[in-house]
């Protein structure tokens, strides 16, 4: 692959950091969208020191604030001719129901809707770059209980794991929709499960969720290992024929039967498009 421009969210820790470092070593120009600019700048300096690649940049982007996502996309469009790789890596699980700045349930906003907006606002650059869009999902999608009449968890008791699993299912829906809608325009899209990674994920959980994470700790893999599928999808040659697929351990895997629900996938797209309208350039 010639000079490659890569944009990644959630790069300041965990698998995002390992992915950004690895791709900088492969001479990608790496644009890290971060909430904490101080941490982002520290990481930028670290990556440059380790890789000797000076084409590493940090942009402010708070995924819990749709205007911030819109503004970050605007900066990229003003700065770049094309984007070749977009890695929607950031995510989170929240013990209690919180709302984003725009009033959306936080799990839904951070794991799905913000990335949906980012992709839609970057479409001109993604099409010019014949881009690969890589969405970090999870095997937690198998716990999903989507209710399209209550995406914001207002009408039922909030469950951290069900909300998270549903958002990760939505990552797979989004991937498949992108492959179908924009494949003819040269864009490919992939979803992946990084593995059960030993990072700060889930540290805010309480009760049974906290206990489950503690029990799983001895079986977790390193962030470096967890980043390998993202790195593979961002750098491997000749994988565009597998666009729309779900990956584990750098291989195509079968998601849940629910992940193939075309009606649910299309409904998510339509609802998401309606939600992002105030923040799009169209």
Q: Which residues are catalytic?
A: 164
Partners of residue 247 on adjacent β-strands: 192, 252
Within 8 A by CB and 6+ apart from 26, the residues are: 4, 235
**Torsion sign across C-alpha atoms 74, 80, 91, 12:** negative
* Cβ density class 245-255: b for 16+ within 10 Å, e for less: bbbbeeeeeeb
Residues, the chain:
282
What is the C-alpha to C-alpha distance for residues 114 and 68, in angstroms, rounded to an integer?
A: 9
Q: Three-class SS of residue 17? A: helix
CB 54 within 8 A of CB 30: no
**What's phi and psi for 269, nearest 5 deg?**
-60, -50
Beta strands per DSSP E along the chain: 5-9, 29-34, 56-60, 85-88, 132-136, 188-193, 246-248, 251-253
| Joined tokens for residue 246 | 């779900």
- Nearest-CA neighbor of 86 among 166, 32, 42, 38? 32
């Amino acid at each position: 692959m010639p000079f490659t421009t890569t944009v990644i969210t959630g790069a300041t820790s965990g698998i995002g950091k390992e992915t950004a470092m690895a791709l900088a070593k492969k001479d990608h120009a790496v644009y890290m969208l971060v909430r904490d600019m101080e941490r982002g700048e520290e990481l930028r300096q670290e990556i440059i020191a380790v890789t000797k690649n000076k084409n590493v940049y940090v942009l402010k982007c708070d995924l819990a604030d749709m205007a911030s996502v819109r503004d970050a996309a605007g900066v990229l469009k003003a700065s770049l001719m094309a984007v070749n790789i977009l890695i929607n890596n950031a995510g989170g699980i929240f013990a209690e129901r919180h709302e984003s700045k725009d009033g959306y349930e936080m799990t839904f906003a951070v794991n799905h809707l913000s990335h949906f907006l980012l992709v839609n606002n970057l479409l001109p650059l993604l099409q010019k770059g014949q881009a690969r869009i890589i969405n970090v999902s999870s095997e937690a999608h198998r716990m999903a209980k989507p209710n399209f009449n209550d995406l914001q968890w207002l009408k039922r008791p909030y469950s951290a794991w069900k909300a998270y699993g549903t958002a990760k299912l939505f990552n797979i829906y989004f991937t498949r929709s992108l492959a179908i809608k924009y494949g003819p325009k040269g864009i490919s899209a992939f979803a992946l499960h990084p593995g059960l990674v030993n990072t700060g994920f889930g540290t805010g959980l309480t009760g049974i969720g906290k206990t489950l994470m503690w029990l799983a700790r001895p079986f977790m893999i390193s962030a470096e290992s967890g980043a390998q599928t993202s790195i593979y999808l961002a750098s491997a040659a000749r994988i565009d024929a597998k666009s729309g697929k779900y990956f584990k351990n750098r291989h195509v895997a079968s998601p849940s039967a629910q992940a193939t629900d075309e009606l649910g996938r299309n409904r998510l797209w339509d609802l998401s498009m309606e939600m992002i309208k105030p923040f799009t350039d169209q």
